[in-house]
Chain A
Amino acid sequence: MSGFTYPILPGRHLLAIEGLQPPHISALLDLAESYALLNRQGKTQRDLLKGRTLINLFFEDSTRTRTSFELAGKRLGADIVNMSVSTSSVNKGETLLDTAATLNAMNTDLLVVRHAQSGAPALLAQKVDAAVINAGDGTHEHPTQALLDALTIRRRKGRLQGLVVAICGDVLHSRVARSNIHLLSAMGARVRIVGPPTLIPAAAARLGVEVHHDMRAGLSDADVVMMLRLQRERMAAGLVPSAREFFRFYGLDAAKLRHARPDAIVMHPGPMNRGVEIDSAIADDPERSVIGEQVEMGVAVRMAVLDVLARGLRRNA
């Protein structure tokens, strides 16, 4: 891809969207867009990460994100190892830094980390020589998800600036929502968060978003409706009385979607709870749902991130 100006991230890791400036984000999305095109053409770039080692270090189960990173790495020619560490053995925490020391000794170049604790990838990043990519940490951030969402929106709507994006559901526990809020706000979109007050984080308005507790008002004239996964344990914790009540007031169905713009797209980071936060008829509607395209863009975005970070590595392959 000669002649391409490669974007430089502000650090050697990708730990969060917060702190990235619009030029970083635009450049990453542009590069990802070009990878999306290559992927559709069936072309690969297997020399780019040749000789580089990528470790997928997952302390939390995730088939989707892990597979996406694996595919992205393989398309760029990296050697890939998947490590799934059972959460029970990590609860003592010591294992996290022990693992860091082990991975360092193996001369890992790129480390993709998912962890149930906010800040865990940042802690690892202090201890390893590899470039660390946060693949989701606790309720903090999931930067590549926000990038793939932005790329999907940009392809469908041609822009991010000025769009009304409604992020709906369990915002309190959502790292996807946080990363999206930071990214979309930085790029000039108008972000709303919609959900019951028990699932909206404290001081949410201080993040520069509009807060709504009524789906109809929240979706009014929205260009993009982004649904979040509601985990069953939120009901056990008493934050939501029941799944049926949640679906009635905050689940996305055709009636609620009518309040959005007629050309509004529907997104979901997956995996979906059909009948809880989203009606199957909407999730599977090819006119509205871009959930499949999100997955496709996920690979392209991760290729772009791996490419950029590998270029910043000190040790040459």
Chain B
Amino acid sequence: MRPLLITNARLLDPASGLDAPGALLIEGGRIASLTGAAADEAERLDAGGALLCPGLVDMRAALGEPGAEHRETIASAAEAAAAGGITTLCLLPDTDPALDDPALIEFAIRRGEATGRVSLLPYAAATKGCAGQELSEYGLLREAGAIAFTDGRRAIGSARTMRLALSYARAFGAMVVQHPEEPSLAAGGAATEGELATRMGLPGIPAAAEAIMVARDIALARLTGGHVHFAHVSTAAALDLIRAAKAEGLAVTADTAPPYFDLNETAIGDFRSYAKLSPPLRREEDRLAVLAALADGTLDAIASDHQPRDADDKRLPFAQAEAGGAGLATLLGVTLAQVHNGALSLAAALALLTCRPAALLGIEAGRLAVGAPADLCLIALERAWQVKAGQLPGKAQNSPFDGRALEGRVIATFKAGRRVFG
């Protein structure tokens, strides 16, 4: 492959603070120079002033493979990820079968490599079968390439199991990712408990179900010294607890997903099952608290929380419909909406999508640095588009953002120097 010089770009690297017009040279799949210097034989690409930043690191996505390929496959998800500017994708293990065996971890990594579009980093099941009982083989799974441990969208409900997981994972330098929802309070629920759920006659999940689990696991992190990471945090009360735990110096981190700072519970009005998510959409006060936590650093990352569902999963009475929303193609655009409306700076927003999740995961990604892999994303910041379920890249079309007008679109994505989108 000939070297490629991307000229006339706005280079933005949130990790180093670089934000300047310039050119970037790709050679041998890596970033060779940020100075504009290039050999004569290099291919040239005029970026037309567009933003060139590290490819996105999405630390949380469920894919349909293995077990639910009718919803999404690794290949179709990789297509959607590339279109969304994502070059590193972390795969949840609550598949069928669950990723609780080293061979399955190796399988997932190989399937990711075969797409040529993304690095697919699988989580391993924190417990065998993601059943919440016995710990899986953390050491062997780490050797096979597991990025961290989680039971995906199932909460590790037993305090004893969580204690063991946090303790044992320390030996292998991995974090345990929790779906923070007290299962006995959440059982059977379809929406956040409150006025709207009452009016709609939907079984509610109290917002406190999240804070209770976060409070418990912070206490267990303190007890064990283990690193707990809370996924898709969505309530003000839980964020306050996480903020305090960080101030105390505990190994506690957290992410959220675009629905929780872009939408509130009213999106489920008229029994719109595409807005049925887990955790459920919250009240407006909680949405604002999530935004504040993104701005003040309490939240470490924004993940797509991609959960592919097909029409048969969703075209059901609300309480029977499956929870989950497609998120790969909209991760960047919905996050940029908060830049355009002034809630987040561009560098802070991109840091939450690139270097900060990369640092959490301990991977070499999410930076514009000489020698780093040339995983890049070229963005037309002002380009307007509309989310249309049915026309999204990839297989999963269950976007909770259907109809949302966005500003900022990926025009090209590079994986290890190769153009994989645009």
Contact = CB atoms under 8 A, between A and B. Distances in A.
A123 B201 contact: no
A97 B201 CA distance: 21
A139 B197 CA distance: 10
A206 B196 CA distance: 10
A118 to B, nearest CB: 4
A140 B204 CA distance: 13
Contacts of B204: 202
A146 to B, nearest CB: 13
Nearest to B319: A117
Contact of B317 (A18, A118, A206): A118
Interface string B14-44: 0000000000000000000000000000000
Given A202-B204, A202-B206, A123 B199 contact: no
Contacts of A175: 201
B176 to A, nearest CB: 31
B317 A96 contact: yes
B33 to A, nearest CB: 57
B285 interface: no
A93 interface: yes
Contacts of B199: 18, 178, 207
A118 B276 CA distance: 14
Given A96-B317, A117-B318, A122 B270 contact: yes
Contacts of B316: 93, 96, 123
Contact of A138 (B194, B198, B312, B319): B319
B202 interface: yes
A138 B271 CA distance: 13
A137 interface: yes
Contact of A203 (B194, B271, B312): B194
A204 B204 CA distance: 13
Contacts of A139: 201-203
A287 interface: no
B193 A202 contact: yes
A202 B201 contact: no
Interface of B: 193-195, 197-204, 206, 270-271, 312, 315-321
A201 interface: yes
A138 B201 contact: yes
Interface of A: 18, 91, 93-94, 96-97, 115, 117-120, 122-123, 137-141, 175, 178, 201-204, 206-207
B195 A207 contact: yes
A115 B318 CA distance: 12
A118 B193 contact: no
Given A96-B316, A202-B206, A118 B198 contact: no
Contacts of A119: 200-202, 271, 317-319
A123 B195 contact: no
B3 to A, nearest CB: 55
Nearest to A182: B199
A139 B189 CA distance: 13
Nearest to B316: A93
A140 to B, nearest CB: 3
A203 B194 CA distance: 5
Contacts of B319: 117-119, 138
Given A93-B315, A123-B315, 12 more contacts: A118-B202, A119-B318, A122-B271, A137-B201, A138-B201, A140-B200, A141-B201, A175-B201, A202-B194, A202-B197, A202-B198, A207-B199
25 contacts: A93-B317, A115-B317, A118-B202, A118-B271, A118-B317, A118-B319, A119-B200, A119-B201, A119-B202, A119-B271, A119-B317, A119-B318, A119-B319, A120-B317, A123-B316, A137-B201, A138-B317, A175-B201, A178-B199, A178-B201, A202-B195, A202-B198, A203-B194, A206-B195, A206-B198
Contacts of A97: 315
Contacts of A178: 198-199, 201
Contacts of B203: 139
A117 B201 CA distance: 9
A97 B199 CA distance: 24
A117 B320 contact: yes
B323 to A, nearest CB: 14
Contacts of A96: 316-317
Contacts of B320: 91, 93, 117
A192 B315 CA distance: 36
